[in-house]
Amino acid sequence: MSDQLRLVISGILLKGQFLVLLYFLAVNGWYLVLLVSSLLELRRHMLLIADESRHLLLSSTLSPTISILAPAYNEEATIEGSLRALLALQYPNLEVIVISDGSKDRTIHVLVERFDLVPVKTIYEQRIKTKPVRSLYRSATYPALVVVDKDNGGKADALNVGLSFARGELVCAMDADTLIEADGLQRMIRPFLYETDVVATGGTIRVVNASEVKHGRVVRTSVPTRLLPGVQVVEYLRAFLFGRLGWNRLGGNIIISGAFGLFQRDAVVNSGGYLHDTVGEDMELVLRLKRLSYERAGPGKIAFVPDPVAWTEVPESAKVLGRQRDRWHRGLADVLWRHRRMMFNPRYGVTGLFVFPYYVFVELLAPVLEAVGLIALAIGLATGATDWTIAGLFYLTAYGLGTALTAFTLILEDLSFHRYETFRDRALLFWWALVENLGYRQMTVYWRLRGLWKFLRGNKDWGSMERKGFRPVTAS
Amino acid sequence: MISEHLLDIAMLVEIGLLVLAVCLFFAHGAWLFLHERRLRRLTESARGSLAHLATRGTVNVEEIEALRRIPSDVQVIALLEISRHLSGAAKERLSFVAGQVGVVDRARKLCESRRWSRRLRGARILSRLDVVDPLVQRLLSDSHPAVRAQAAEWAAAQPSVILISAMLKLLADPATQARFAVQNALLRMGGVVAGPLATFLERNSGRAAEAGLRVAESLAEPRFGAAALRLSRTSDVGVRIAAARLLGAVGEAEGAERLIELLEDDDPSVRAAAAQGLGRMHHWKAASLLAGRLRDSAWRVRRAAGLALRSIGAPGVLFLRRALKGDDSFAADMAQQVLDLPSAAASV
């Protein structure tokens, strides 16, 4: 290689790395703003809820009815426990709609046997086109329970069927294997009672792996000792406590987890319900509600409430986790592409000018830039074009600052809800916050890049999620 | 080229931040552990004394002295905790004890604070202890909606004429939180609000009237009839819907006539509410008109009319059967669906 060519390549590598470095500096700077914002929001929230008496809400006939939509596909082993936990939720006007999405196992039989179901006819308006409903059941012992058996059409289709049958002003979309804390709905409904322009609220999702579960309730929290679930505990805390809470104060929330979200039924139905042909149907719906609120000049506030908690099982194998992250990133790309006209469009206010570009340049393209930076660094170090000083600075900017921010998120959790109480759990949390940068984060870059690649190739496969099941209470 | 000096600075800053975070995290954990242990011990002893004081019927001076010696935050925790489970004379004794140990005075001071969060806390303590105090009444006009809502919650346990009138004014509160709390509080006050609420509904319209109508619907007293009739003629759709529901709940002859008129309203939600109201009243004379609404262009009106016919009984079912053979396929379809319903699911 001639000296001149070497010089050119070295120049390109250096400039590229500087750009990536600046990008990470900007992103982490923005995260710092989010952290401060979430701190302020959390403080306001804690002051508002200190000593509040929610039992008044429980006894009020004015409380809006909530219809829980629980899609189930081949859940014969877990459906009874999950459903009993749902029926025991502390909320006065509650309806639980289980939608068996063409289950091939004995899901329906188990439900009929254990919940005393009888087939009924009902009148419903099908405003969203869905796969045919086979039969409808009501329980002779639980008046609040409705079970719908329908042809298989995917989660979005099942939720749309649930929307047609729901009688509540509000609908709670969730996964059948999510464990909602008993007072979760009472807490999550607050923004709907307190503000007029709210169309959707989301709660916090926490990782249940390694925690003890009894009768569908988490009775003892614990941080997993295994790498993948352990690191995901930290990831979830970061995403919810400083990501969504921080955006809440800035009015830029556009994500509500599909595992636990509360929506105004009419707003969802009028917007056309859940889309079938996307793997990011929950984010798509929220972004559509937001977009329509600008276009129709109607209500469109998306609120995140930090204290209602739902517990979910996260993947423990790299293979399944990779599939999940790949799907999430494909979903993100798909949703952003569908609503691309919002980008830098002043018609969509803060969302168009600021939030949407953030999701494109930070959430969507971060893995690309991170991969470019890492590859350039490796080539630079191998060819001698980059010295170790730059490599060190790159690592400190890209990962070191992130670790510091994560550490402060843990403090935020400790100052507010402190669900992890023992010294062992604290040490583990901190350990996973440090360790996630040494391999795990690079793996997620690869998975997200794979998702982006699959999106560009038009792949809309969901993949399968293997679950180990919740950890029961052990005799002490 | 980046100097090593810059790298050193960056590294030092990050290490500093991390060390700070570690120290804060673990120090807070240790403090939390010790604080909670202390709190648990003190709360347990306070809880025991309070339970004794509240249930025995007499107040012992030594026990009050012992409670005074407990830190104020523990006093508040124990008092609020036990207040949830008490009512009547026991609750009054608890409030007396709270006054004796200084919690009520401290809560009063909080109510006068310039910070909304402190006023909210003060109002919450006084509410939970059912302490009658003009300071909390003043908070009904506080600048922060959460404080107004808390004051309304407090007022629910003190149903006086002045308070009811102040609460009714808050039905027009621009903040949903305060409005909801006021509606709730009025409902909890029960029958005593019926008279003032009827007068209020006769004189008001718009958002305040709509909020009031919802409370009136739950109370369903005949004296709301006149106001509901007047409000059912306003231009506000929300008010007309709420008025139609109230007319259905009250169930008087004049109301039924007005509901029949509302079956022709321009807004489908009002027509549906009118049909629902007639069904609720089992007003068989309206059966033929409800049968006409089975041909309505709006699905929800057809559904409400069908269910109303079903709940009317034999005359309604007769009209439903006739609709099955009629020329309107939408009416026939709805009639069939309503007739297919099991009786338990056919209530409107």
Assess A138–B contact: CB distance below 8 Å, yes or no: yes
List pLDDT tens digits, range B169-205.
Answer: 999 888 888 888 999 999 989 889 999 999 999 999 8
Interchain contact B160–A (C-beta under 8 A): no
* CB spacing of B25 vs A410 below 8 angstroms: yes
Identity of the residue in A62, A407, A421 whose CB atom sits nearest the CB atom of B21: A407
Q: Which residue of A has its CA nearest to B78?
A: A51
Chain B interface includes A56 (CB < 8 A): yes
- Helix, strand, or coil here: A462? coil
The answer to whether A177 touches A75, Cβ cutoff 8 Å, is: yes
**B123 vs B2, which has greater pLDDT?**
B123
Cβ-based contacts of A234 with chain B (< 8 Å): none
Is B14 in Cβ contact with A414 (below 8 Å)? no
Q: What pLDDT does A314 receive?
A: 92
Q: Chains A and B: how many Cβ contacts under 8 Å?
A: 121
B122 touching chain A per CB within 8 A: no
pLDDT digits 0-9 by tens, A309-318: 999 999 999 9
Neighbours of A464 (CB within 10 A): 7
Q: DSSP string covering A138-159, please?
A: EESS-TTEEEEEE----HHHHH
Q: For chain B, what is the mean pLDDT?
A: 89
User: Interface pTM (ipTM) of the complex?
Assistant: 0.80
Q: Which of A266, A284, A300, A258 is nearest to A127 (CA)?
A: A266
Q: CA A99, CA A69: separation in Å to the nearest integer?
A: 7
d(C-alpha A3, C-alpha A425), whole Å: 55
Contacting residues of B for A58, CB less than 8 Å apart:
none
Whether B254 contacts B262, CB under 8 Å? no
User: pTM of the predicted model, to two decimals?
Assistant: 0.86
Which residue has tokens 């506030």? A301
Q: For the segment B241-270, what is each residue's pLDDT rounded down to a tens digit?
A: 999 999 999 988 899 999 999 999 999 999
Of A61, A194, A396, the CB nearest to B176: A194
Q: Decide if A237 contacts A425 (C-beta within 8 A).
A: no
Q: Is B288 on the interface with A (CB under 8 A)?
A: no
Q: Label each residue of A166-208 as H, E or C.
A: CCCCEEEEECCCCEECCCHHHHHCHHHHHCCCEEEEEEEEEEC
The pLDDT tens digits of the residues spanning B78-87 come to 888 888 888 8
Which residues in B lie closer than 8 A to residue A396 (C-beta atoms)? 7, 10-11, 14
Residue A476 pLDDT: 40
Q: Give the residue with greater pLDDT, B279 vs A82.
A: B279
3-state secondary structure chain B: CCCHHHHHHHHHHHHHHHHHHHHHHHHHHHHHHHHHHHHHHHHHHHHHHHHHHHHHCCCCHHHHHHHHCCCHHHHHHHHHHHHCCCCHHHHHHHHHHHHHCCHHHHHHHHHCCCCHHHHHHHHHHHHHCCCCCHHHHHHHHCCCHHHHHHHHHHHCCCCCHHHHHHHHHHHHCCCHHHHHHHHHHHHHHHHHHHHHHHHHHHHCCHHHHHHHHHHHHHHCCHHHHHHHHHHCCCCCHHHHHHHHHHHHHHCCHHHHHHHHHHCCCCCHHHHHHHHHHHHHCCCHHHHHHHHHHCCCCCHHHHHHHHHHHHHHCHHHHHHHHHHHCCCCHHHHHHHHHHHHCCHHHCCC
| Residues of chain A under the 50 pLDDT cut | 475-476
Residue pair A386/A17 in contact by the 8 Å Cβ criterion: yes
pLDDT tens sequence across B25-52: 889 889 988 988 888 888 888 888 787 7
Minimum-distance CB partner of A403 among B6, B18, B306? B18
> Nearest CA of chain A to the CA of B163: how many Å?
19
Q: What is the largest CA-CA distance in chain A?
A: 85
State whether B342 and A53 contact (CB < 8 Å).
no
Of A48, A123, A397, the CB nearest to B337: A123
Chain B residues touching A397 at Cβ < 8 A: 10
CB count in 10 Å sphere of residue A468:
11
Contact B187 A60 (CB under 8 A): yes
What is the structure's pLDDT at B348? 45
Structure tokens at A394: 């790159």
Give the nearest chain B residue to A44 (CA atoms): B117
Asked if A384 has any chain B CB less than 8 Å from its own CB, the reply is no
Please list, in sequence order, all residues whose beta carbon lies within 8 angstroms of the beta carbon of residue A200, skipping any fewer than 6 positions away. Answer: A256, A261, A262, A263, A264, A267, A286, A289, A302, A303
Residue B243: name the closest of B266, B273, B222, B203 by CA.
B273
Q: Which residue has the tokens 């309206």?
A: B286
Read off the pLDDT of residues B136-175 as tens digits, 9 standing for 90 and up.
999 999 999 999 999 999 999 888 889 999 999 999 888 8
Sheet holding A198-207, edge to edge: A117-119, A133-139, A145-150, A94-101, A66-72, A170-174, A260-264, A198-207, A301-312, A179-180
Contact yes or no for A53 and B341 at CB 8 A: no
Distance from CA of A77 to the nearest CA of B (A): 30
Give the separation between CA A286 and CA A302, rounded to whole angstroms. 8
End-to-end CA distance of chain A: 69
Interface contact A189, partner B, CB < 8 A: no
Residue B108 has pLDDT above 90, yes or no: yes
Give the best residue of A57, A62, A377 to mutate against chain B (max B CB count within 10 A).
A62
Place of tokens 């188990």: A110
* A25: contact with B, CB 8 A cutoff: no
Q: Say whether pLDDT at B344 is over 60.
A: no
List of residues 6+ apart from A46 with CB closer than 8 A: A416
pLDDT at A215: 81
Name the residue in chain B with its Cα closest to that of A411.
Answer: B25
Contact list, B7 vs chain A (CB under 8 Å): 389, 392-393, 396
* Per-residue confidence (pLDDT) for residue A208, from 0 to 100: 92
Question: Could you give the count of Cα atoms lying within 13 Å of B42 in the half-sphere of its Cβ?
Answer: 20
Contacts with A151 (C-beta within 8 Å, 6 or more apart), sequence order: A102, A131, A132, A134
CA triple A155-A161-A167, angle to 5 deg = 125
CB contact under 8 A, B306 and A121: no
Whether residue B14 is predicted with pLDDT greater than 90 in this model: the reply is no
Section B107-125 average pLDDT: 95
CB-based contact (8 Å) between B174 and chain A?
no
Task: Please indicate if any CB of chain A lies within 8 Å of the CB of B34.
Answer: no
Looking only at the bridges linking them, the beta strands covering A217-220 and A212-214 are: antiparallel
**Phi then psi dihedrals of residue A179, to 5 deg:** -105, 110
Cα-Cα-Cα-Cα dihedral of A373, A375, A381, A384, to 10°? Answer: -100
Q: Is B100 on the interface with A (CB under 8 A)?
A: no
Which of A422, A415, A424 minimizes the C-alpha distance to A306?
A: A415
A48 touches chain B (CB under 8 A): yes
Residue A147 tokens, joined: 């079970």
Q: How would you classify the pairing of strands A66-72 and A170-174?
A: parallel
CB contact (8 A) between residue A60 and residue B80: no
Supply the pLDDT for residue A468: 60
